[in-house]
Amino acid sequence: MKSFSRFLSGCLSLTCLLLLATEGWGQELQVHAPGSVPAGQPFQLRFVVDADVDKFNPPDFGNFEVLGGPSTGRSYSMSMVNGHMENSVQVSYTYYLLAREPGRYRVGVASVMVDGRRIETSGPVEVEVLAAGNMGAPGGGPSARPGAATAARPSSGGEAKNLLLRLQLSKSKVYVGEPLMATLKIYSRVQILGFDEMKFPTFNGFLSKVLPAPEQIALVSEAYQGREYNAGKLREYVLFPQKPGEQTIDESVAEPRYIVRRQSRSIFDVAFGGGYDEATMVIKAPKQTVRVLPLPKGAPSGFGGAVGRFTVNSAVSQDSLMTNDALSYTVTLSGSGNMQLIPAPEIAFPSTVESFPPKVVEKYGLKGGTQSGSISYEYVLIPRAPGELKIPAYNFSYFDPQKEQYVTVSTPSYSLHVEAAPSADQSTASVGVRSKEEVKQLGRDIRHIHAGGATLGVLGERMVGSVGYWLWFFLLVLLFAVLWIALLRRERLRADVASVKGRRAHRVSHKRLRVAKSYLDAGDARYHEELIRALHGYLTDKLGLDKASLSADSIREQLLGRGVDAALVDGLLGLIADCEYARYSPDQSSEGRGELYERAVRSLDELNANL
């Protein structure tokens, strides 16, 4: 008996050891790296482990340049399984690497220490570095920047061809009601970090529908104007022209942020992970013109505005039935065109049939740049009288833009046999019901006559025509007039967007100055950038200037034209120039930074008092 107890205890101990070992084996150090990257383009290398790490041992990076890292990330999760709470932790280490010459590069084995155990990656990682050539930068959605990147700066003119914005139309000539696709795309040869501003086009003269867009912009290689770009769709629309003539689509504007190589001769930039900046650029997609042709005259009587190519089918659920039984009649429109603008069929059913509004099932989408699919209309019909039930044919007319003519397609007519229902339902047939109105009146067309005398009398004084009545009447008219004037004034003020921005410019600029002051107190490098934003923001809002056209000459011309003193204008322009210089000057003292802030506050207050 004792030997059996020792055997059982040994089995339990061995089971516990196996479970602990299995838990340890389940942990592994994963490495995430791209298979190939262009030469001269930074990329991320991540190590991830599902455990709390005591120590991380980095790998040998070989011929890669380490721009930054490791950046440590930690996430926690909690779950409840069968009433037991389980906690888990994930730790990641991220490096930013760069290879300048093409070839195959290798990153060695990394390891971590978890609860005294050493966990390694499965082996070295190989990354193929391709020649840059005419290839665009990979990626394009918002991504992390290298550790030594500085605040964003305006782009130079030489980078204009590396970023393009284009509105691509599937057709340039359509008929009224004929759908076309509009795709707003960005073409990039640099690594995009995100967008500061975005103005999408407006489609005057069109009905537009925005298609669902993915959260992450997917870039694909595409040749445009003889150069290779990474192209991504920002937004897609389906447009339905509503009136003939030359219809103009407004321009689109975007301001992306992207990585550029810093123009520096210092060897310390490379040694300490530098050499790259963030830059911004305002790019525009020019206006587009669509020629919309009118539909020709001589449209059939049943034409409801459908443009495209369609077929129509119909079906009934049964050939014979009894009175008061339900019958399903379905009409299906299939094809391609302006599906969502097609009205429901108007079918004249016999008067002996009670019909209900149809159940509409829409199954259409985009295929090959056109809207195609089907729409089905299911009617529920209830015959109320026996005999032969005739469902007329349905004629559907549409305009075919390829044939440039109207086309009419039809469904067959149906002749159904309706028998009288037995027992109590037979009485419905015997009364000779001939219309739906008579069916609705059955059971409520005979009313009992009320018996007894009626007592009439005057209840109080008449309100209409009294002094109180006219007093309340004029008060309500006066209140309505006051509210109407107030609403008109409010709408007028809202419509004047430039005036609203001008009135709020001083308050908004002081909010940005408070943010800049917090950066100044914290020693944050974004102080000068926020100070310049406050000055530029005030000038664009107060003067009604476009940010893209903001320059020293335009500022001087606008301020002098509004009667501002020339000395004040020169001081403001000098302040902006000093801020731009201090933004990239590494040797500025804290007193000099504080003096810029005081000058900015004083200049904006004096300028606002003169405007």
pLDDT-derived band at 497 (thresholds 50, 70, 90) equals: low
The span from the CA of 65 to the CA of 532, in Å, is 34
Q: Which residues pair with 235 in a beta bridge?
A: 184
Between residues 97 and 272, the one the model is more confident about: 97
447: helix, strand or coil: coil
Average pLDDT (365-373) is 74
Q: Does residue 396 register a pLDDT over 70?
A: yes
Between residues 6 and 236, the one the model is more confident about: 236
437 phi and psi angles, rounded to 5 deg: -65, -40
Average pLDDT (340-363) is 87
pLDDT (0 to 100) of residue 360: 92
Q: What is the mean pLDDT of the chain?
A: 78
pLDDT (0 to 100) of residue 590: 63
The span from the CA of 256 to the CA of 189, in Å, is 12
Helix (H) or strand (E) holding 527: helix 527-543
DSSP-derived secondary structure letter, 517: H
Q: Does residue 25 register a pLDDT over 90?
A: no
DSSP-derived secondary structure letter, 549: G
Q: Does residue 8 register a pLDDT over 70?
A: no
pLDDT (0 to 100) of residue 484: 93
The span from the CA of 432 to the CA of 151, in Å, is 87
- List CB contacts of 236: < 8 A, sequence separation 6 or more: 181, 182, 183, 184, 210, 211, 213
What tens digit of pLDDT does each residue of 405-421 get?
999 999 999 998 899 88
Take residue 409 and report the two structure tokens written for it.
Answer: 């397609």
Please state at what angle helix 566-583 crosses helix 590-610, rounded to 10 degrees: 150
The span from the CA of 414 to the CA of 396, in Å, is 17
pTM of the entire structure? 0.45
Amino acid identity of residue 494, one-letter, is: R
pLDDT (0 to 100) of residue 363: 86
Other C-beta atoms closer than 10 Å to the C-beta of 602 total 12
The answer to whether 396 and 381 have CB atoms below 8 angstroms apart is no
pLDDT (0 to 100) of residue 2: 46
pLDDT (0 to 100) of residue 81: 46
Amino acid identity of residue 526, one-letter, is: R
What tens digit of pLDDT does each residue of 436-464 get?
454 445 445 555 566 666 666 666 666 77
Domain 159-293 has CATH 2.40.160: no
Q: Looking at the domain covering 496-610, what would its CATH class be?
A: mainly alpha
Q: What angle do CA 148, 152, 158 make, to 5 degrees?
A: 105
The answer to whether 248 and 204 have CB atoms below 8 angstroms apart is yes
Q: Which residues pair with 314 in a beta bridge?
A: 331
Q: Is the peptide bond before 102 cis (omega within 30 degrees of 0)?
A: no
Take residue 546 and report the two structure tokens written for it.
Answer: 């476009």
Tell which residue, 281, 288, 292, has the closest CA to residue 258. 281
- Sign, CA dihedral 550-553-559-561, equals negative
Take residue 81 and report the two structure tokens written for it.
Answer: 């399984």
The span from the CA of 479 to the CA of 253, in Å, is 45
pLDDT (0 to 100) of residue 589: 63
Burial class of residue 207, CB neighbours in 10 A (0-12, 13-18, 19+): middle
Q: Does residue 12 register a pLDDT over 80?
A: no
In the chain, the largest separation of any two C-alpha atoms, in whole Å, equals 113
pLDDT-derived band at 32 (thresholds 50, 70, 90) equals: confident
Between residues 594 and 286, the one the model is more confident about: 286
Per DSSP, the residues of 280-325 read E--EEEPPEEEEEEPPPS---TTEEEEEEEEEEEEEES-SEEETT-
Residue showing tokens 């550790």: 147
* Topology of the domain comprising 303-419: Immunoglobulin-like (2.60.40)
pLDDT-derived band at 377 (thresholds 50, 70, 90) equals: very high
DSSP-derived secondary structure letter, 341: G
Amino acid identity of residue 593, one-letter, is: R
pLDDT-derived band at 141 (thresholds 50, 70, 90) equals: very low
Between residues 545 and 180, the one the model is more confident about: 180
Take residue 396 and report the two structure tokens written for it.
Answer: 């559907």
Take residue 400 and report the two structure tokens written for it.
Answer: 């075919």
Average pLDDT (488-496) is 74
Where does CATH 2.60.40.740 sit in the chain? Answer: 303-419
474 phi and psi angles, rounded to 5 deg: -70, -35
Q: Which residues pair with 16 in a beta bridge?
A: none
Q: Does residue 137 register a pLDDT over 50?
A: no
- List CB contacts of 341: < 8 A, sequence separation 6 or more: 177, 207, 240, 305, 306
The span from the CA of 341 to the CA of 472, in Å, is 48
Between residues 562 and 414, the one the model is more confident about: 414
The answer to whether 167 and 183 have CB atoms below 8 angstroms apart is yes
- Quote helix, strand, coil % in the chain, to nearest 5: 30, 35, 35
Per DSSP, the residues of 399-410 read EETTTTEEEEEE
Q: Does residue 17 register a pLDDT over 80?
A: no
Q: Are strands 276-280 and 153-154 parallel, antiparallel or unpaired?
A: parallel
Q: Which residues pair with 194 in a beta bridge?
A: 257
CA dihedral 530, 533, 538, 540 (to 10 degrees): -170
Q: Where are the beta strands (DSSP E) in 124-169?
A: 125-130, 153-154, 163-169
Tell which residue, 418, 359, 425, 409, has the closest CA to residue 391. 418
Take residue 245 and report the two structure tokens written for it.
Answer: 């003539």
pLDDT-derived band at 545 (thresholds 50, 70, 90) equals: confident
Other C-beta atoms closer than 10 Å to the C-beta of 363 total 11
With pLDDT > 70 as the criterion, what percentage of the chain qualifies? 76
Between residues 458 and 335, the one the model is more confident about: 335
Residue showing tokens 């696709």: 181
* Topology of the domain comprising 27-130: Immunoglobulin-like (2.60.40)
Radius of gyration for the chain, computed over Cα atoms and rounded to the nearest angstrom: 38
Residue showing tokens 């501002």: 564
With pLDDT > 90 as the criterion, what percentage of the chain qualifies? 15
How would you classify residue 384: left for phi > 0, otherwise alpha for psi between -120 and 50, otherwise beta?
alpha
Average pLDDT (312-323) is 89
What tens digit of pLDDT does each residue of 34-67 get?
777 787 778 788 888 888 788 888 888 888 888 7
Where does CATH 2.60.40.10 sit in the chain? Answer: 27-130
495 phi and psi angles, rounded to 5 deg: -65, -30
Residue showing tokens 């003020």: 493
pLDDT (0 to 100) of residue 479: 94
Q: Does residue 254 register a pLDDT over 50?
A: yes
Residue showing tokens 């009545």: 469
The span from the CA of 284 to the CA of 277, in Å, is 23
Average pLDDT (261-287) is 69
pLDDT (0 to 100) of residue 274: 54
Average pLDDT (305-322) is 90
Q: Does residue 547 register a pLDDT over 90?
A: no
Take residue 363 and report the two structure tokens written for it.
Answer: 């199954």
The answer to whether 528 and 582 have CB atoms below 8 angstroms apart is yes
pLDDT (0 to 100) of residue 138: 42
